[in-house]
């Protein structure tokens, strides 16, 4: 099939209500022409690891894309550099991990992520973005402490995908909804896919995905621990999205913004503590500590 007939087929399928055409993401290095406005530098990151437990698992691949963007509009302009390095974890890569990303012991043998190269790559960066930053940030701060000093955003947690009409926040599913597919679970490929998605308009609001993340950066996040909550309210808390903390022995959740924490405290007092006085613990995070394992400012609040 020649190019003309492929183009004709694409037009026919795009116009037909019973078909949706999915195209392979082709990495772009230019998104828009710079008009002279002041631009910032951002980095999209992705890690592949030996597992999901940062206390015993390790990074075996780090991928990054350095790009420039308008902090007012979220519009990206150029990809400035890319980074992809493997690292030997010092122990065998579990077979179940290799099944996910395809990285074998032979591929990482003797390899090491170069710390100086990472530092040079991140020079002048004002924002790091990952899809599920809670995973990547914890692993990266354990291996490379300079990630602690950078603001982080998360395209998984800081975009209301369900509210925008997209039923799953998995990166490959979001890509499908925008008409793209890519080879998932290798770091650099995932980064290019995420950068492409960051430049797509959200279905309902029309805002760029990156704009939604930027608007969340200045917000504080509040992790609230429902200490001493009655046992019979556990199902209610769980259905609202609270999770059990085995160390503190209480249920907790995280909300973003001052209005949200006020509403959550009010809900706890009325629905969980039946209007009675109670003490809850609140931990405050900003973009420098959000999604990390480091603690924020903690306080006990009487409600």
pLDDT tens, residue by residue, 154-176 = 999 999 999 999 999 999 999 99
> What pTM does this model have?
0.88
The dihedral built from the CA positions of residue 117, 118, 119 and 125, taken in this order, carries a sign that is positive
Q: Given the structure tokens 């078909």, which residue do they identify?
A: 19
Helix, strand, coil percentages in the chain from 3-state DSSP, rounded to 5: 35, 25, 40
> Token digits for 154?
């998360």
**Residue 108 main-chain phi, psi, to 5 deg:** -100, -5
Q: How many CA atoms lie within 13 A of 151 on its CB side?
A: 17
**Does residue 85 contact residue 111 with C-beta atoms inside 8 Å?**
yes
**Does residue 44 contact residue 65 with C-beta atoms inside 8 Å?**
yes
Per-residue pLDDT, 2: 55
Q: How many CA atoms lie within 13 A of 184 on its CB side?
A: 13
Compute the distance between CA of residue 121 and CA of residue 81 in angstroms, rounded to an integer. 8
**Residue 270: strand, helix, or coil:** helix
Q: How far is CA 78 from CA 75, 91, 175, in A?
A: 10, 38, 21
**Residue 199: strand, helix, or coil:** coil
Compute the distance between CA of residue 131 and CA of residue 201 in angstroms, rounded to an integer. 17
Mark the ranges of the chain whose per-residue pLDDT is less than 50: 1
8-state DSSP, 228: T
Q: What is the dihedral of CA 2, 4, 8, 14, to 10 degrees?
A: 90
> Token digits for 134?
């809670």
Alpha carbon 199 to its chain centroid, in Å, reads 15
Residue burial 88-100, b: 16+ Cβ < 10 Å; e: rest: bbeeebeeebbee
> Token digits for 288?
């420098």
> Token digits for 93?
């890569």
Per-residue pLDDT, 92: 97
* Beta bridge mates, 128: 43, 152
Q: What is the dihedral of CA 39, 40, 41, 46, to 10 degrees?
A: -120
Per-residue pLDDT, 4: 61
């Amino acid at each position: 099939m020649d190019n003309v007939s492929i183009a004709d087929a694409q037009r026919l399928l795009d116009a037909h209500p019973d078909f949706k055409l999915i195209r392979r993401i082709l990495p772009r290095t230019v998104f828009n022409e710079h008009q002279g406005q002041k631009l910032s530098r951002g980095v999209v990151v992705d890690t592949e690891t030996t597992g999901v437990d940062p206390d015993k698992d390790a990074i075996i691949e780090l991928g990054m894309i350095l790009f420039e963007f308008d902090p007012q509009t979220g519009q990206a302009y150029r990809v400035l550099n890319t980074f992809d390095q493997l690292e030997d974890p010092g122990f065998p890569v579990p077979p179940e991990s290799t099944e996910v990303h395809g990285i074998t012991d032979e591929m990482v043998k003797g390899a090491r992520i170069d710390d100086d190269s990472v530092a040079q790559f991140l020079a002048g960066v004002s924002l790091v973005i990952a899809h599920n930053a809670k995973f990547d940030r914890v692993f990266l701060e354990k291996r490379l402490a300079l990630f602690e000093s950078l603001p982080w955003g998360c395209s998984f947690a800081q975009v209301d995908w369900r509210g925008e009409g997209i039923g799953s926040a998995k990166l490959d599913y979001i890509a499908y909804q925008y008409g793209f597919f890519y080879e998932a679970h290798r770091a650099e490929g995932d980064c290019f896919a995420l950068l492409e998605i960051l430049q797509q308009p959200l279905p309902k609001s029309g805002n760029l995905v990156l704009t939604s993340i930027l608007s969340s950066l200045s917000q504080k996040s509040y992790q609230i621990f429902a200490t001493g909550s009655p046992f019979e309210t556990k199902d209610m808390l769980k259905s609202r999205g609270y999770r059990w903390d085995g160390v503190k022995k209480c249920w907790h959740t995280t909300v973003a913004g001052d209005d949200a924490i006020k509403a959550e405290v009010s809900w706890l007092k009325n629905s969980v503590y039946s209007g009675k006085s109670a003490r809850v613990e609140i931990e405050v995070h900003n973009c420098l500590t959000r999604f990390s394992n480091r603690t924020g400012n903690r306080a006990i609040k009487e409600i």
